[in-house]
Amino acid sequence: MSVAENQAAAGRGSARAVAILSSLGRFLVVAVTTYLGLLAVTFFIGRVIPIDPVLAVLGDRAPTAVVERTRREMGLDLPWIEQFYLYVKAALRGDFGTSVLTTNPVMADIRRVFPATIELATLGTIIGAVIGVPLGVLAAVKRGSLIDQIARVVGLIGYSVPIFWLGLLGLVLFYAKLQWIAFPARLDVVYEYTFTPITGFYLLDAAIQGQWDVFHDAWRHIVLPAALLGYLSLAYISRMTRSFMLNELAQEYIVAARAKGLSETRVIWGHALRNAAVPMVTVIALSYANLLEGSVLTETVFSWPGIGLYITNSLQNADMNAVLGGTIAIGSVFIAINLLSDLLYRLLDPRTKAG
Amino acid sequence: MSAETIQSRREWLLSDRPASRLQARLGRAYVSWRRFSANRLALVGMLIIIALLVVAAFADVLAPYSPTVGDLKNARLLAPSAAHWFGTDDLGRDIYSRIVYGARWTLYVVILVAIIAAPIGLLVGTVAGYAGGWTDTILMRVTDIFLAFPKLVLALAFVAALGPGIENAVLAIAITSWPPYARIARAETLTVRNSDYIKAVQLMGASPFRIVLRHIMPLCISSLIIRVTLDMAGIILTAAGLGFLGLGAQPPLPEWGAMIASGRRFILDQWWVAAAPGAAILIVSLGFNLLGDGLRDALDPRSGDQ
């Protein structure tokens, strides 16, 4: 070993620490500016685009006294910069105003509906990953084969299909014709009033309380919307898995592993897939974030009482506080998942240099 | 044409020493076309898009009925038949005719979004890449911020504030879809910024404005076109989603997403009202995806088969 290499080896430990610190610092800067950007955009949408933001919040039927009071409460007489400062301060406290439609604080509404969305998106991502990853691996290993072609077509259709339309057709087939699933809602009316949720995730709650009839009913309601979202994420996950695996399978360590006499199963599932694991985690996280967003249309079709349905119901009633609060809520989680998966990728993968 | 002339023409096209700029360009186009047309799925995609253009252009000829006025008395919610290929909707309008006219609105949306969003991205990306320093940092930070937003939800909020309508939907989609173009344009700019020909133009005294506009932007166009084509499907789906939620095209416009929304009320009994426009959306987005994949493989062999 030369002198230079010795020094390099000694410096490597601290260099790694510096790299991690700088990567955390960068993460903080990016996170803060991105959230400020999100708030700036919603501020712009709520306060700048409407000719009269008070009317946009209250609707045109509000009495004059209320309009005047709201105008002062919203601080519309202040300069824009100050208005934005107050807006950010309120948002950090979780104060997004009151919903006209439900008359609750928007934040309370969001807390109530968010678990339904999380439950749906989580189940969708699980379905997508459990089918998508093996499909992508097989497509890469048997490149050009029938299964590769099928995976490609399945993926392409997933990228091209309007999800709300597929949902409607699914309802016609599985609910109306075959009667395999329950009508659009979260639970049957019978259970709606007797079942007390704990976490807000009905499948989990029913299982904890051992109410298997409720579990079965909840399952019959969630299975189709979750399968549809799962299909969307499957399209994305299988395509990315295939691409990562092709990349890994072309590496020299694969040749070495084969030369050692390892079985093909170990080479593919043990060596290659394991090395593709870090980018795969990122892809699954991103697909989860996309499902949160994709739930807006799916929830509308399936009357699923989550944040997407909340936003579209509020839209129909020109309830801007609720619309923007919902946008910030989805946006925040979306951004958080994006940033965290990026950070995770930088920290876990030794090949990506921080900074 | 004899086999020999075809042979000699091919040789002329593939010549290693083109005698003119025209010959070089035609030769490269020919090579790209051969790569593109070897991909059968890409050809299918191209045919779908050509069909979309033809249908939109000749909607008056192809549609047997009016897209907006129906026969309320005799033709409400009829099942598909020889007279009405895809049946009729709740206002007695022929669904086939509405889909044919709807092709125009689909094209209207994708073309408008592309000509608003792509130039914005091109400008931001090339300026950031060429200027470097603080300009680059600030512009790219803004781009990344927009890139991190959920597109559909943001578009929803924009349309909610602007008011429903197809123009506002276009605007909202364009506002949320320029950032990837800026990233691509910046990456392309960085690869050519320090090349000799840019140095030569600088020495000749060209202004930065002229360099970016005349010497950098043209080089970004081909990767931008690929990306825009690949995004077309997403744009169509977002526009259809907005239409479905009642925020895009307003009745009686025959926009496909809005048609699905109106068919939703009869979905369990008269499923065809919603089925046909959705199939149209699926086919057209599939066409754009296939075409985009093919263009990427043909024009950019580096990223092939990813």
Give tens-digit pLDDT for B248-284. 888 888 999 999 998 888 888 888 888 999 999 999 9
Going from the C-alpha of B114 to that of each of A236, A352, B117, B176, B182, the distances in angstroms are 24, 34, 5, 12, 13
Residues from chain B contacting residue A316 (CB–CB below 8 Å): 246
Q: Is residue B18 part of a domain?
A: no
Position of tokens 């907005």? B242
Neighbour count for residue A8 (Cβ, 10 Å): 12
Q: Is residue B22 part of a domain?
A: no
Q: Is residue B2 part of a domain?
A: no
Residues in chain A, total: 355
Tokens of residue B250, six digits: 């307003």
Interface probe with A: pick from B149, B159, B268, most Cβ of A within 10 Å? B149
Query: How far is the C-alpha of A173 from the C-alpha of B261, rounded, in Å?
Result: 18
pLDDT for A352 equals 57
Cis preceding-peptide flag for B252 (omega within 30 of 0):
yes
Interface probe with B: pick from A160, A245, A315, A341, most Cβ of B within 10 Å? A160
**Mean pLDDT for the stretch of residues A58-72:** 76
**Mean pLDDT for the stretch of residues B9-37:** 83
Q: Which residue among B157, B245, B290 places its CB closest to the CB of A327?
A: B157
Contacts of A29 (CB under 8 A, 6+ apart): none
pLDDT for B291 equals 92
**Domain containing residue B81:** 33-299
Residues from chain B contacting residue A156 (CB–CB below 8 Å): 286, 289-290
Instruction: Check pLDDT > 60 for residue B299.
Output: yes
Q: Is residue B256 part of a domain?
A: yes
Q: Taking the mean position of all CA atoms in its chain, how far away is CA A229?
A: 11
pLDDT for A262 equals 85
pLDDT for B306 equals 40
Question: How many structural domains are present in chain B?
Answer: 1
**Mean pLDDT for the stretch of residues B76-94:** 81
Q: Do A160 and B244 touch (CB under 8 A)?
A: no
Q: What is the DSSP string of chain B?
A: --HHHHHHHHHHHT-SS-SSHHHHHHHHHHHHHHHHHT-HHHHHHHHHHHHHHHHHHTHHHH-SS-SS---TTT-TTPPS-SSSTT-B-TTS-BHHHHHHHHHHHHHHHHHHHHHHHHHHHHHHHHHHHHH-HHHHHHHHHHHHHHHTS-HHHHHHHHHHHH-SSHHHHHHHHHHHHSHHHHHHHHHHHHHHHTSHHHHHHHHTT--HHHIIIIIIHHHHHHHHHHHHHHHHHHHHHHHHHHHHTTSSSPTTS--HHHHHHHHGGGTTT-THHHHHHHHHHHHHHHHHHHHHHHHHHHH-GGGTT-
Is A55 an 8 Å CB contact of chain B? no
Give tens-digit pLDDT for A5-40. 555 555 566 777 787 788 788 888 888 999 999 999
**Mean pLDDT for the stretch of residues B17-32:** 83
Is B198 an 8 Å CB contact of chain A? no
> Residue B304 — very low, low, confident or very high, per pLDDT cuts 50/70/90?
very low
**Mean pLDDT for the stretch of residues B61-75:** 79
Query: How far is the C-alpha of A309 from the C-alpha of A199, rounded, in Å?
Result: 20
Say if CB A170 and CB B275 are below 8 A apart.
no
> Residue A351 — very low, low, confident or very high, per pLDDT cuts 50/70/90?
low
Q: Do A172 and B152 touch (CB under 8 A)?
A: no
Residues from chain A contacting residue B274 (CB–CB below 8 Å): 165, 168-169
| More reliable by pLDDT, B88 or A39 | A39
Give tens-digit pLDDT for A215-244. 888 888 899 999 999 999 999 999 999 999
Weakest mean pLDDT among A58-67, A129-138, A256-265:
A58-67
Is A323 an 8 Å CB contact of chain B? yes
DSSP annotation of A354 reads P
Q: What is the CATH number of the domain that holds B162?
A: 1.10.3720.10
pLDDT for A46 equals 82
Contacts of A209 (CB under 8 A, 6+ apart): A198
| More reliable by pLDDT, A350 or A309 | A309
Tokens of residue B248, six digits: 């895009």
Query: How far is the C-alpha of A50 from the C-alpha of A58, rounded, in Å?
Result: 12
Q: Is B43 exposed, middle or buried (0-12, 13-18, 19+ CB in 10 A)?
A: middle
Query: How far is the C-alpha of B305 from the C-alpha of B192, rounded, in Å?
Result: 26
Q: Is residue B158 part of a domain?
A: yes
Neighbour count for residue B54 (Cβ, 10 Å): 12
Instruction: Check pLDDT > 50 for residue A265.
Output: yes
> Residue B305 — very low, low, confident or very high, per pLDDT cuts 50/70/90?
very low
Q: Which residue among B149, B275, B305 places its CB closest to the CB of A38?
A: B149
Instruction: Check pLDDT > 50 for residue A150.
Output: yes
pLDDT for A57 equals 66
Q: Is residue B288 part of a domain?
A: yes
Q: Do A42 and B150 touch (CB under 8 A)?
A: no
Give tens-digit pLDDT for B101-143. 999 999 999 999 999 999 999 999 999 999 888 999 999 989 9
Query: How far is the C-alpha of A68 from the C-alpha of A70, rounded, in Å?
Result: 6
Contacts of A226 (CB under 8 A, 6+ apart): A120, A123, A124, A127
Say if CB A159 and CB B289 are below 8 A apart.
yes
The percent of residues in chain A predicted with pLDDT above 90, rounded, is 28
Collapsed DSSP state (helix, strand, coil) of residue B250:
coil
Give tens-digit pLDDT for A286-305. 899 989 888 889 999 999 99
**Mean pLDDT for the stretch of residues B181-200:** 89
Q: Is residue B277 part of a domain?
A: yes
Instruction: Check pLDDT > 80 for residue B71.
Output: no
**Mean pLDDT for the stretch of residues B86-103:** 87
pLDDT for A4 equals 53
Query: How far is the C-alpha of A240 from the C-alpha of B293, rounded, in Å?
Result: 15
Q: Which residue among B154, B237, B267 places its CB closest to the CB of A172?
A: B267
Instruction: Check pLDDT > 60 for residue B41.
Output: yes
| More reliable by pLDDT, A16 or A118 | A118
Q: Is residue B234 part of a domain?
A: yes
The stretches of A250-276 forming alpha helices (DSSP H) are 252-259, 264-265, 273-275
* Global confidence as pTM: 0.87
Tokens of residue B265, six digits: 């009320």
CA atoms within 13 A on the CB side of A196: 1
Residues from chain B contacting residue A296 (CB–CB below 8 Å): 152-153, 156, 241
Instruction: Check pLDDT > 90 for residue B49.
Output: yes
Instruction: Check pLDDT > 80 for residue B210.
Output: yes
Collapsed DSSP state (helix, strand, coil) of residue A105:
strand
**Contacts A–B by Cβ distance under 8 A:** 137
Residues from chain B contacting residue A301 (CB–CB below 8 Å): 264
Is B281 an 8 Å CB contact of chain A? yes
